[in-house]
Structure 1
Amino acid sequence: MKEQLARNICRYRKERGLTQEELARRLGLTFQAVSKWENAQTMPDLSLLPDLAAILNVSTDRLLGYVPQDKQVSIYENEYRTPDYYWGVEPNKACYQVLQLMPPTRPLKLLDMGCGEGRDAVFFARNGYDVTAFDISDAGVEKTQRLADKAGVTVKAFRADINDYRPDARYDIIYSSGVLHYIKPEYRSELFQHYKDHTNPDGIHVLNVFVEKPFIAPPPENEPNACKWRSGELASYYHDWLLRESSEAVFDCNSSGIPHKHAMSVVIAQKIGTI
């Protein structure tokens, strides 16, 4: 709770364009108090939370890291509430690349960021990985757990926003498919450095992201929280790692019932030695 609140105070303060001194002045405090909050050394007094949330233009729930259960936070929330699996239950082909590059011949910890309904997370667990997974959709997390239970495996799944969540454990594999376009540009550098810092030596990241191309029409889904990515941008965060793959492809998609195309960048990077 303390670290989550610290990150959120810092995040929303910067989004509002406020310095620590300006925020402190509006609350009638010293800037040292705000600094201690953002460094998770102390927490704001409970009585300050309503004023703090108002200044930062967020709800107290959002400030504390919660999303109201009656608020749809993903365009797929309703689809995930149906009995059928919107994305199916067959794993993404990138999962097989993980198996080839780092087979679970020893205990390996894997983080699936934006697990959706759990098809990839459960595949990894069935193959012997120690899997942690998160998604912003409560319904997606519930279906992930149901799919894991049906397969007789364990997936430590929970709800989190990819913009807010920072791993506190170290992983051998960090995996994400079709989710990174939700990361806001201003958080990317810090987030990817955090992912790298929380990866064990010789660990790998297997990631993809949708990129914009002038010759491809925008997708039919209305995704208000999606952010633009450029070709080559994802790979740029791994200039100090071994790039095992950095590729781009255009493919057909029918996920919304309307045929369309996507351009996607794929990066597989490895942390060599004790970097």
Structure 2
Amino acid sequence: MNKRKALGYTQQTLADKLNVSFQAVSKWENGTNYPEMEMLPMIASVLDTSIDSLLGYKPFMVSDYDKRYDTADYYWGITPNNLCYEIMKLRPPIKPLKVLDIGCGEGKDAVFLARNGYIVTAFDLSEAGIEKGKKLAEKWNTHVDFFKADITDFRATKYYDIIFSSGVFHMIKPEIRKEITANLKECTNKNGIHAINVFVEKPFVSEPPDKDANWFRWNSGELFMLYYDWKLHKTEEIIFDCNSGGIPHQHCMDIMIAERVK
């Protein structure tokens, strides 16, 4: 259901694509019936996902992040990322601007942007993170359209003015990075911006203590090269101290803000 909604499909739309009745789709989603096994590849293809995801298979990183977020406190705190302020300077919400927050975690950045007048959609793989994001939005009496999705499966079908992602793109395997960024670029309005940071491989920076099993660091400058045809407002590489997981360590990160000019 979440994947269908993320793609903007109604039950009837999905039914038409699969050549079944919308009642069949409804029964699949409410658990009263299940599709035949031979239909799974077709359903996965139409929803642009994997059969494992359809069957509810959860890799290690889901349970890992769910455990991190299953606390009263916010694992990453509630202070907005500095990129949020840079977004506001470059694209102030003087008119309705649609934002997509990819890998929103516990929702601190999505809620901050919504509080400041942006129309925000946000997704994460962690159910616990999504629930905490909803509570944070409720606390601030604002709205974010939260949903659950996997960045490796998600493909945008709607257009956005701003696409934001912090500390998430290392979950994307190298072989699908170009495909995913091309999709996000295509689904960005003219003069829209992407504000993204990625963890970068450096031989002198040790692995973080809270590293998960699905960590794929980027090469220095790799992200910037994928936006060679956009106007680059910011390209910065930094090394910073971090205390996530309770053990002091360092990260190297590339930070980019790019604008679609064509």
- Interval containing the TM-score (normalised by the shorter chain): 0.7 to 0.9
Distance in 2 separating the partners of 1:186 and 1:76: 24
Report SS of the residue matched to 1:251.
strand
Q: Is the 8 A contact 1:74 1:136 kept in 2?
A: no
Task: Please report how far the alpha carbon of residue 250 of structure 1 lies from its aligned counterpart in structure 2 after TM superposition.
Answer: 0.4
Q: Deviations over 1:248-272 (max 9, x none)?
A: 0000111111111100000100001
Report SS of the residue matched to 1:75.
helix
| Residue pairs, 1:260-275, within 5 angstroms | 260-272=249-261, 275=262
Which residue in the other structure is 2:128 paired with?
139
User: Greater relative contact order: 1 or 2 (C-alpha under 8 angstroms, separation 6 or more)?
Assistant: 2
Gaps of 5+ in 2: 8-15, 21-34, 44-49
Report SS of the residue matched to 1:252.
strand
Which residue in the other structure is 1:107 paired with?
96
Task: Please report how far the alpha carbon of residue 81 of structure 1 lies from its aligned counterpart in structure 2 after TM superposition.
Answer: 1.1
Distance in 1 separating the partners of 2:192 and 2:252: 27
| Residue 80 in structure 1 maps to residue 76 in structure 2 | no
Q: Deviations over 1:130-167 (max 9, x none)?
A: 00000000000000000001100000001100000011
Which residue in the other structure is 2:158 paired with?
169
Which residue, out of 85, 89, 92, partners 2:81? 92
| Residue 249 in structure 1 maps to residue 251 in structure 2 | no
Task: Please report how far the alpha carbon of residue 41 of structure 1 lies from its aligned counterpart in structure 2 after TM superposition.
Answer: 5.3
Distance in 2 separating the partners of 1:240 and 1:74: 38
Which residue in the other structure is 2:191 paired with?
202
Which residue, out of 213, 217, 227, partners 1:224? 213
Task: Please report how far the alpha carbon of residue 180 of structure 1 lies from its aligned counterpart in structure 2 after TM superposition.
Answer: 0.5
Q: Deviations over 1:15-34 (max 9, x none)?
A: xxxxxxxxxxxxxxxxxxxx
Q: Deviations over 1:216-265 (max 9, x none)?
A: 11111231011131000000110000000111000011111111110000
| Residue 158 in structure 1 maps to residue 113 in structure 2 | no
Q: Is the 8 A contact 1:251 1:263 kept in 2?
A: yes
| Amino acid of the structure 2 residue aligned with 1:168 | T
Which residue in the other structure is 2:25 paired with?
none
Which residue in the other structure is 1:129 paired with?
118
Structure 1's 241 and 43: CA in aligned 2 closer, same or farther, altered over 3 A? farther
Task: Please report how far the alpha carbon of residue 65 of structure 1 lies from its aligned counterpart in structure 2 after TM superposition.
Answer: 7.0
| Residue 64 in structure 1 maps to residue 63 in structure 2 | no
Structure 1's 142 and 61: CA in aligned 2 closer, same or farther, altered over 3 A? farther
| Residue 191 in structure 1 maps to residue 187 in structure 2 | no
Structure 1's 65 and 238: CA in aligned 2 closer, same or farther, altered over 3 A? farther
Task: Please report how far the alpha carbon of residue 76 of structure 1 lies from its aligned counterpart in structure 2 after TM superposition.
Answer: 2.3
Distance in 1 separating the partners of 2:97 and 2:18: 35
Task: Please report how far the alpha carbon of residue 78 of structure 1 lies from its aligned counterpart in structure 2 after TM superposition.
Answer: 1.0
Distance in 1 separating the partners of 2:236 and 2:63: 28
Structure 1's 145 and 65: CA in aligned 2 closer, same or farther, altered over 3 A? farther
Q: Is the 8 A contact 2:41 2:51 kept in 1?
A: no
Structure 1's 51 and 112: CA in aligned 2 closer, same or farther, altered over 3 A? closer
Task: Please report how far the alpha carbon of residue 92 of structure 1 lies from its aligned counterpart in structure 2 after TM superposition.
Answer: 0.8
Q: Deviations over 1:40-91 (max 9, x none)?
A: 95479724157999xxxxxx862527446x9761522112111111111111
How many matched pairs? Answer: 231
Distance in 1 separating the partners of 2:96 and 2:42: 44
Q: Is the 8 A contact 2:191 2:259 kept in 1?
A: yes
